[in-house]
Amino acid sequence: MDLTRRDFGKVVIASVSELALLQSTRDAWGQPHPGQNRSLINGVQFGLQPFCYHDLAMTRENRGELIRRLVRNGMGMVELHATWVEPRFNDPGVSAAAARDKMRAWRLSPPAGYYRGIRKELDDAGVAVFTYYVNFDDSYTDAEIDATFEGAKILGARGCVGSFGLAVSRRLVPFPGRHGMFVGLHNHDNLSDPDAYASEASMVTGLSLSPDFKMMLDTRHFTAADGDCVGFLERHHDRMAGMHVGDRRKHNGRSAPFGEGDAPIIELLRTVRDNRWPIVALLEFEHGTLRPEIEEVDLMFDYCKRAVA
């Protein structure tokens, strides 16, 4: 290939820029996992919330298929829901209370090397766990919360994220610091629930509870709740760990393929790229498709890649 001096200059500038962006990611989150570069596009770290694979039940039995799909979709980073990791105890004939007790006992003393084994599966495939999704609630004991953070840390997660509100968040304040991790606040769009993260004000209140709390802004839900996604990013980027990137229509509207709803996906991604903010973009969508989900992820990821190209 013949390179002109101008071409060479462009390549050098691009490489320096990429290195600088990698450095900013490294500074924010520690040593990056080598596999995550697979979905590092022009300085924006992408990953997937695998809820997108609607045809794949989120069970630990399906984890192998999940990892295969992530690699096939070019994803080097994932938000791993605990159900991909933990066993289930709600067998027929087992009461909900008994199943919950068994789950707690398992979390407090998982089989030796259990989380390390899963970490190896992910490492071997070159997939980094950015966050571990756990729906903490009142049924969790303190010891169980600590054990969950510990397991998540072994998996490589930088934080635990979940669909909980202000009350549970208050209880979680002492935990992430003990493990050198963060708690990711994930907003939904229920504006009628005073405990829910849905409005910007509710999220600011949540973030004020602890410096270890970071926002995992869900662009679909925030758009449906008539929130200003770009404004939120500009105002609170230093408290954001990531975004769940997806599209919906305003006014409690329906989910839509990327670009067909009201979520400003392109503006958000370019703002992250241009400012070199270490904010991870996790694709997550809920719109319907007749295509296999793996193809749909490809299409949505292509949309995002073009946005930051």
Partner 1 sequence: MTRILTGICVLAFAASIAAQSTPVHRSYDTEFLGPPLADPVLQHAKETFVLFGCAYCHGLNLVSRGEATDLMHSALVGRDENGSRIGPLLRAGIPQTAKLSPMPQFSDLSDQQIAALVTWIHYARQQGRYQELTAAPVRTGDATAGKAYFERTCSMCHAVDRDLAGIGRKHDAPALRAAILEPKGLKSERSFTSARLNDTKLGPAQQRHHALLENYSAEEVANVVAYLASVR
Q: Which residues bind partner 1 (CB under 8 A)?
A: 54-55, 163, 188-193, 196, 221, 224, 248-249, 251-255, 286-293, 295
Q: How far apart are CA 308 and CA 303, in angstroms?
A: 9
Min dist. Cβ of residue 256 to partner 1 (A): 9
Residue closest to 154 by CA, chosen among 118, 124, 185, 108: 118
Specify the residue, 41 or 52, whose C-beta has the smaller distance to partner 1.
52
Structure tokens at 207: 């973030």
Min dist. Cβ of residue 249 to partner 1 (A): 7
Min dist. Cβ of residue 253 to partner 1 (A): 6
Specify the residue, 185 or 224, whose C-beta has the smaller distance to partner 1.
224
Residue closest to 71 by CA, chosen among 306, 297, 309: 297
Q: Which residues contact 105 (CB under 8 A, 6 or more apart)?
A: none
Min dist. Cβ of residue 222 to partner 1 (A): 12
Specify the residue, 25 or 163, whose C-beta has the smaller distance to partner 1.
163
Structure tokens at 54: 């609607």
How many CB atoms are located within 10 Å of the residue 207 CB?
18
Min dist. Cβ of residue 55 to partner 1 (A): 4
Specify the residue, 151 or 165, whose C-beta has the smaller distance to partner 1.
165
Residue 28: burial class (beta carbons within 10 Å; 0-12, 13-18, 19+): middle
Q: How far apart are CA 11 and CA 51, in angstroms?
A: 37
Q: How far apart are CA 183 and CA 212, in angstroms?
A: 6
Specify the residue, 41 or 161, whose C-beta has the smaller distance to partner 1.
161
Min dist. Cβ of residue 300 to partner 1 (A): 14
How many CB atoms are located within 10 Å of the residue 153 CB?
19
Min dist. Cβ of residue 293 to partner 1 (A): 7
Q: How far apart are CA 112 and CA 168, in angstroms?
A: 30
Residue 75 Cα to chain centre, angstroms: 12
Specify the residue, 57 or 98, whose C-beta has the smaller distance to partner 1.
57
Specify the residue, 28 or 56, whose C-beta has the smaller distance to partner 1.
56
Specify the residue, 37 or 135, whose C-beta has the smaller distance to partner 1.
135
Contact predicate 188/197, CB 8 Å = yes
Positive or negative torsion for Cα 56, 58, 59, 60: positive
Min dist. Cβ of residue 90 to partner 1 (A): 14
Specify the residue, 100 or 188, whose C-beta has the smaller distance to partner 1.
188
Report residue 193: phi and psi, to 5°.
-105, 115
Residue in the structure block whose two tokens are 């490589």: 156
The three-class DSSP label of residue 258 is coil
Min dist. Cβ of residue 130 to partner 1 (A): 22
